[in-house]
């Protein structure tokens, strides 16, 4: 295994480290629900650890009540995201009593998509709700930095046009349920989740520290992009520092300050998260091949690093997937 080959010249004016990290985010939906609500109604969603939850109102209105936060009024076209999977209420009014969402009768339209009809009289509200899990290693870093709730009340002029078109398409699909509708609905909802993350990153720059802030730093972001692009390289602190035109000591100090851990520790973290993802996705992938893809000189060296980082061997991890996941 030889991982010392030189890096090809990169035109950094064309590189967006944050964008590259976000484009790898892949969502696995636990469920999506189209709700038709009328009159007086309220439902409690239980906590879902490890899942990002969202609500988008198509018609009518909805109050979102998260413990510790002020209730939010959601109007048509607005999008609310609960990034940390905290339990919360959705109601026609903040004073309305709530019942457990999963105690209500729902129509299962597919493995991941269902329809809820609750109430018959009064003002009607239709909305799409969902819970999704991100599988890429970038996700765990990103989600820990997000606030308890993200509420988009107004999109930009350009993005607003296609977001509204997406919402109209969602409403049409949920109303008619044509063949393949559940697949269309889940993909449209995924797009809205990613767009909401992009919106928050664009509009809340002063709140972005740690991993997000580091990705947007001119030099540290470049070093992180190199690690993300080429985890197989024999990276060292001096080599990374030279790639971004910084002194070794200056680079190491700034990387640690912004990212929250030293460069080599972050490299190991990234490699181990990629290893976990590869073990989950490809049951036939040999540990030798995986070790080579992640920059380890032998299968034994990779296995030692994996066990040191996760507490279990790669073989044991493969047997336990998807019930466990490294922190």
Note whether 80 and 151 are within 8 A (CB).
yes
- Name the pairing type of β-strands 42-45 and 99-100: parallel
Domain with 265 in it: what CATH number?
A: 1.10.10.60
- Regarding whether 181 and 138 lie in a shared domain, the answer is yes
**What pTM does this model have?**
0.71
Q: Which domain holds residue 74?
A: 21-206
- Residue 168's pLDDT is what? 80
Strand partners of residue 44: 89, 100
- Regarding whether 195 and 226 lie in a shared domain, the answer is no
- Regarding whether 170 and 78 lie in a shared domain, the answer is yes
- Regarding whether 95 and 243 lie in a shared domain, the answer is no
> 322: cis peptide before it, omega within 30°?
yes
Indicate the number of domains in the chain: 2
- The edge-to-edge listing of strands for the beta sheet with 99-100 is 72-74, 62-65, 88-91, 42-45, 99-100
- Regarding whether 134 and 177 lie in a shared domain, the answer is yes
**Does 11 fall in a domain?**
no
DSSP result, 77-105: T-EEEETT---EEEESSTTS--EEGGGS-
Q: Please say which residue of 172, 206, 240 terminates a domain.
A: 206
- Residue 323's pLDDT is what? 47
- Residue 44's pLDDT is what? 94
- Regarding whether 142 and 32 lie in a shared domain, the answer is yes
Mark out the alpha helices in 177-298 (DSSP H runs).
181-203, 210-215, 220-229, 237-243, 248-259, 263-281, 287-293
**Does 52 fall in a domain?**
yes
- Residue 55's pLDDT is what? 92
- Regarding whether 187 and 54 lie in a shared domain, the answer is yes
- Regarding whether 265 and 238 lie in a shared domain, the answer is yes
Q: Please say which residue of 158, 178, 206 terminates a domain.
A: 206
- Regarding whether 176 and 34 lie in a shared domain, the answer is yes
- Regarding whether 168 and 43 lie in a shared domain, the answer is yes
Strand partners of residue 81: 54, 150
- Regarding whether 97 and 78 lie in a shared domain, the answer is yes
Q: Could you report the average pLDDT of every consecutive run of 10 residues in the chain (327 residues)? A: 56 65 68 88 91 90 92 91 92 93 83 82 88 73 82 79 80 73 76 81 68 85 90 94 94 93 93 85 85 90 89 82 51
**Does 192 fall in a domain?**
yes
């Amino acid at each position: 295994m030889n991982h010392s080959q030189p890096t090809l010249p990169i035109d950094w004016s064309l590189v967006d480290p944050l964008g590259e990290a976000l484009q790898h985010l892949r969502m696995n939906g636990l469920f999506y629900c189209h709700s038709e609500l009328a009159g007086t109604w309220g439902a409690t969603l239980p906590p879902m650890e490890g899942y990002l939850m969202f609500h988008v109102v198509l018609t009518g209105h909805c109050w979102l009540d998260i413990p510790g936060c002020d209730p939010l009024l959601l109007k048509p076209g607005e999008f609310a995201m609960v990034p940390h999977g905290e339990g919360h209420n959705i109601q026609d009014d903040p004073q309305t009593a709530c019942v457990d969402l999963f105690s209500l009768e729902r129509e299962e339209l597919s493995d991941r998509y269902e329809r809820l009809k609750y109430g018959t009289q009064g003002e009607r509200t239709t909305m799409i709700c969902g819970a999704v899990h991100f599988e890429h290693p970038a996700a765990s870093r990103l989600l820990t930095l997000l606030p308890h709730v993200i509420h988009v009340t107004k999109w930009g002029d350009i993005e607003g046009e296609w977001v509204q078109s997406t919402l109209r398409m969602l409403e049409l699909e949920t109303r008619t349920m044509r063949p393949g509708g559940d697949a269309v609905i889940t993909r449209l909802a995924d797009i809205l989740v990613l767009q909401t993350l992009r919106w928050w990153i664009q509009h809340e720059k002063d709140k972005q520290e740690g991993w997000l802030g580091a990705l947007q730093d001119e030099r540290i972001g470049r070093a992180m992009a190199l690690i993300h692009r080429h985890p197989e390289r024999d990276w060292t602190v001096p080599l990374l520092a030279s790639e971004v035109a910084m002194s070794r000591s200056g680079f190491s100090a700034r990387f640690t300050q912004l990212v929250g851990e030293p460069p080599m520790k972050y490299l190991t973290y990234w490699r181990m998260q990629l290893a976990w993802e590869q073990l989950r996705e490809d049951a036939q992938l040999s540990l030798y091949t995986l070790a080579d893809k992640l920059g380890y000189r032998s299968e034994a060296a990779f296995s030692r690093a994996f066990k040191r980082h996760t507490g279990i061997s790669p073989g044991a991890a493969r047997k336990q997937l998807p019930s466990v996941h490294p922190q």
